Homo-oligomer: A and B are copies of this chain.
Amino acid sequence: MEYRKIKDEDKDEGAAGDDIESLRNKSLTVPRGNVATIGGGSNDRSKWKCKTIVTFALTILTSSQAILIVWSKRADKYEYSVTTANFLVETLKCLLSLAALARIWKNEGVTVDNRLSTTLDEVSVYPIPAALYLVKNLLQYYIFAYVDAPGYQILKNLNIISTGVLYQMILKRKLSEIQWAAFILLCAGCTTAQLNPSSDHVLQTPYQGWIMAIVMALLSGFAGVYTEAIIKKRPSRNINVQNFWLYVFGMVFNAGAILIQDFDAVMNKGFFHGYSLITVLMILNHALSGIAVSMVMKYADNIVKVYATSVAMLLTAVVSVFLFGFHLSLAFFLGSTVVSVSVYLHSIGKLTR
């Protein structure tokens, strides 16, 4: 996973050799203080390139994550503690951010933008997304009293709509009418692609289930949009520092979850009980996709994130045909068609707004 920072290229717009590596090397000569991010003032082409790379990385990582989950379920290797795994994911993300920072410090020296030390004003907002996710994950235990697991998969598509609404409300960036139409289609298309003969059960969900599903969608959407707001608030701040602080609080909250939920199991059976190769791969993959999500927030936005993860869902199904002999349903083809049209409309919607 390539998640190094790409530097300002104000002095070298549209240069021939503007691939990531050459940008990185050239930027070594850029003076201190201007060692900023792609977010502010770098040229459009490298911006676009960076956005494409992180989006592509997120799509592939999300897709392989889902494949690892299917694999682990089929191999019946699900006896490890989820809370310890989540804690390790946050720890790994933290370490990877520090490693990236160490490299940057060695090459460029410590600057205002890439130093780890921070102010209370800057750091005070970082626990909020982690706290929101914690509340959402707690709710997840209760919603299963009203909805079964396949039904929950269907209801999770409400995240798409909540992200769109909160994105426009909180970040004040307007989606065009066509982009809104595309977003509704994305939600309908993803749900259609996941339809199976028992999906109609979801319509019998009691109102408590609907309310919880909507609250969870809002929490998840809000956490995503809030993370974007935090990261974008300081465009010149190095993304690895921003990630470090996000993940430190992720570690803290997940350590709390271990204490509350799995303290006895960890004490009796050990921290790594039930871990296998698949578990390690899943932790690695989760860590990398977590970093990819942060990168998408920095260089793109929540809308791109939703598209990337939706396309990943379709990609997973196609890959599963070859890996696990899955059959694709007619609903899957129809849903994929709708999602494809949605991606197209989103891209042309930008031009006409």
Contact = CB atoms under 8 A, between A and B. Distances in A.
A337 B181 CA distance: 10
A192 interface: yes
Contact of A184 (B191, B335, B341): B341
Interface residues of A, number: 30
A101 interface: no
Contacts of A329: 200, 203
A313 interface: no
Contact of A345 (B333, B334, B335, B345): B345
A229 interface: no
A70 B240 CA distance: 64
B199 A154 contact: no
Given A181-B345, A345-B181, A345-B345, A200 B330 contact: yes
Q: What is the predominant secondary structure among interface residues of chain A facing chain B?
A: helix
Interface string A145-177: 000000000100000000000000000000001
Interface string A192-232: 10010101101100000000000000000000000000000
Given A178-B345, A185-B341, A188-B341, 19 more contacts: A154-B330, A177-B348, A178-B178, A178-B348, A181-B344, A188-B334, A188-B337, A189-B338, A191-B330, A192-B192, A192-B331, A192-B338, A195-B195, A195-B334, A200-B330, A203-B329, A203-B330, A203-B333, A345-B345
